[in-house]
Amino acid sequence: MLNLVDLSRTDLNLLVLFEAVLEERHVGHAAERLNLTSSAVSHGLSRLRRLMNDPLFLRTPKGVVPTARALELSAPIADVLARVRNVLSAAEPFDPASSTRRFTIGAPDGISAVLLAPVLGELARTAPGIDISIRQLLPTPGETRPERAWRGAFADLDDRVTDIAVIPTGQIPERFHVGGLYDEDFVVAMRAGHAFADEPTLARYCELQHLVVSLGGDPHGFVDEALARLGCTRRVALTVPNFMFALAILAETDLLCALPRRFAAMHAARFGLESVDAPLELTRFRINAVLPKVALMDAGVAWLLVILEKAQPPLPPAGRSSATI
């Protein structure tokens, strides 16, 4: 990216400035993050533009947007900075017991709600100064190809918005490291005492009304695909944007909802819900922790990956479960 002559004459802090503006999409916000003035950041961008022979960032009423050249440079620059940071951090190795870093994990709430409690328990025991941010992830509405459905998660990783994404797919681009966490399937959840629990047949399942978790409001999901293969349909009476919201709605209605088995086992009882095995074969999902391969050079991120790999709860047994059993 830089030849030897350029490197000898260039302040590598300009790459840090590039990174901040790319992530913030705003000169003023990048300046605050770097403890610089906006004019200093603008001056640095001018130097970068001359160096790269490209505008890099274009002004908009809400901030700046990167050019195609800036997006091309983002991964190589992130790689360079990660390597430099790793070299510098070698003088002071990452120590979870004394670290005060904040890590960001991206995941659907049906996954984060399963992993978060054991992760926080481990942090309390071994890393009391470390903080965690959870970024909600859901697949892109209308996308059936996994590598496209989760492209937002991959973009967040590339842009370093998240440190690790935990998503239910094995279709991961080659530039990422993949750590398998657990396999997940789905159960049918409903309020305690619902008649479907005593007659969980396919015919009855199709007759009743359903709730679907969908960020964009699309009522058609993988359950409908499975039903279509059997020549069946169902009525989706309601969609909600996340699984925790679904629990509250199920408690007050006669709706049915397909929920991840571990998620239902951990959280359904507090809402007075019960669950049964689905009366049809549903897709099983592999839950994977995903991060850029270069991020493994960061000892803190590598440590977090190990914590996630240890956090998975045991798979609850198949069959009927409820708050009263």
For domain 102-184+285-311, give the CATH number.
3.40.190.10
pLDDT tens readout for residues 84-128:
776 666 556 789 999 999 999 999 999 999 999 999 999 999 999
Q: Which stretch of DSSP H or E encloses residue 249?
A: helix 243-252
> Would you tell me how many other CB atoms lie within 10 Å of the CB of residue 195?
11
Ramachandran assignment for 127, one of left (phi > 0), alpha (psi -120 to 50 degrees), beta (any other):
beta
Where in the chain do CATH 3.40.190.10 domains reside? Answer: 102-184+285-311, 186-283
Tokens of 67: 């050019």
Contacts with 66 (C-beta within 8 Å, 6 or more apart), sequence order: 22, 25, 56, 57, 58, 74
User: 186-283, what's its fold?
Assistant: D-Maltodextrin-Binding Protein; domain 2 (3.40.190)
More confident: 8 or 233? 233
Q: In this model, does residue 260 exceed pLDDT 90?
A: yes
pLDDT digits (tens, 9 = 90+) for 211-245: 999 878 889 888 999 999 999 999 999 999 999 99
- Residue type present at position 148: R
Residues 6+ apart with CB under 8 A from 35: none
Backbone angles phi, psi at 268, to 5 degrees: -70, -35
114 token code pair: 């399963």
Q: What is the pTM of this model?
A: 0.68
The first and second tokens of residue 210, run together, are: 């359903």
- Nearest CA to 48 among 24, 33, 67? 67
pLDDT at 35: 87
- Mean pLDDT rounded to a whole number for the chain: 88
CB of 22 closer than 8 Å to CB of 66: yes
The architecture in CATH of the region 4-89 reads: Orthogonal Bundle (1.10)
Phi-psi region of 291 (alpha: psi -120 to 50; beta: other; left: phi over 0): beta
Q: Is the per-residue pLDDT at 203 higher than 80?
A: yes
Q: What is the pLDDT of residues 294-312, one digit of tens each?
A: 899 889 999 999 999 998 7
Average pLDDT over residues 254-268: 94
Residues of the chain with CATH 1.10.10.10: 4-89
Q: How does pLDDT run across 29-66, given as a tens digit for each residue?
A: 999 988 889 999 999 999 999 888 999 999 999 899 99
